[in-house]
Structure 1
Amino acid sequence: MRIIYFHSDTHPYDKAIYPGVGPAFARPLSWEARPISQIGQGDCEVAIVDNRLEPGDVERLKQHLAVPASRRPLLFFRVSDPDMPETANPCVRFIFDCADHPGVHYATTYDPEGPFLAFVTTLKVSRVVHLPYPYDSSREVEVRLAGRRRKIFLSGSNSKTLYPLRYALRRKRSRFPWLRPFLFDLKHPGYPEDGKPPRHDITHARFVSLASQFTHFFLCGTLHNVELMKHVECAYAGCVPVGVPATSLKATTGPYFRPYTARWLDLARDVFQPMPVLEERAAGYRAVMRELRSPARIIRDLTAEIRGIERR
């Protein structure tokens, strides 16, 4: 099955703070990536469209979708945020306005939750397939756990609503001085791709490299507990995961986590577990993520789901 990943002609992907969007998302899957202006060339069976759209991209997609479905490849809009259906951005709204249009479907990086789950329940013709973040083994960092600082690497947005566990942990850190030695807190870099000045440049490879200086990595999958790119980045860094495993990963990665009880003493105890125990957990987590989110497995499963749509 020939799959091509189509991305915006003009969106500033070079300023994105993580490699989960645009051509960078397609690279580990070995998919050809093309600008949306080339979507009408008709030389693929499946077109997956990135969700960072600009006005010019929307106009080109409208023209493309005006062609009868029998004369164009199946099209899947990629969804990478549970709250995307509630956006006020007209270009992103277009993605959901295309629901049930002939030949239009959706590819989600996580199990549907929140507003996206509500949207999915309204679909009558369009279908939803799974397209998780692929595991890129070339990004793995090899730093022995025994040589690292016994601390928990904490990073990301501090939204009380969207990331309640992360927010609560940061609040505890500010209120209880004895918790601070166990945490390294990296603030969110901001959104340079939206034209805002970056707070720092610790993104992409620098982000994983910094995380690899610490034994532990705090994970929480938003209010909806979905699978973020941080879940593979923790494995790239070779860290011990702490926090809460994403719902989609709980059965496979749960044994490598320690339950997060919001009690600082539990975190402190985990940081000072015997090194062989920590090494076993970090190695086990990496092995599971490497296998579960391998590009070959993602493509195999995705292809099977798409074939199921074609047979309907």
Structure 2
Amino acid sequence: MQPADAQEAPAEGTTFVATPAEEAAPVETAAEEPAAPEAEAEPAEVADDHGDADAEHADAGHDDAAEDHGDSHATAHIEDIDFSFEGPFGSYDQFQLQRGLQVYTEVCAACHGMKFVPIRALSDDGGPGLPEDQVRAYAGDLLPIVDAATGEERDRVSTDHFPTVSGMGMGPDLSLMAKARAGFHGPIGLGVNQFVNGIGGPEYIHAVLTSYTGEEKEQAGSVLYGNSAFPGGWISMPPPLSEDRVTYEDGTPATVDQMSTDMSAFLMWTAEPKMMDRKMVGLVAVLFLMVLSALLYLVNKRLWAPHKGKLKH
């Protein structure tokens, strides 16, 4: 009888008996446990929302970067300049090269070297054509050089090269810059524009020197300057030229366009100092081939034409 009563007691009042209630608690907890994943699912949903937001932000940033990239590469039109040295019969303007040398010396030499250009070349006939004494005086005013034989510092002489300028904040060497840059491309990679207008290195240099927009921005602790001709639209070199920055000895007005043109022509000479000799050799070679072709035609007509006629009969 007692076992039966003990079995009926929980059935009559489960809420009033402590022990059955405590035993039922795990059952209720077990029943509530499936709800826990729903609570845990909320951070996952929030993470998904953050992921979607980040993805949208990344896409938006990518689109903005793509637009900036497209805008930056939609650079200003490189104007074709009629330089005197262009064409098969063109030659350097000696006075223009002298003005370009003056611009380089007074404006650019502090940050840009020309280590591949010998100073003695300034007296060449196809170059600036300076007198020998003036070239020696110019060499002495440049940065001193360490003598390789003695290891001591000395003044430069005309047989030395232009200085090499290096260090933090210094610009690239300008010796071959007119050949290292191209102002004309295409269309669609065919290079037809370069065939018609040339590579366009001097035109590119002129465009960079004259295309500052006046805008400035700071990036990674450095100040960048807006330039519509430079790839990316921003350049770390501040505008080097301004009206009357130099005073030309021949009285030529020192406008920004004039100084840029003279500097571009001078850098073309530093990159191609023997251009006139090369053109002369090419002209002589063409004349020689024309004479040789005429002689071969006459020889063929004189010696082989009669024999060819007999073979036909």
User: Is the pair's TM-score, using the shorter chain for normalization, greater than 0.5?
Assistant: no
Answer with 1 or 2: which has the greater Rg: 2
Higher-strand-fraction structure: 1
Higher-helix-fraction structure: 2
Q: TM-score, normalised by structure 1?
A: 0.20
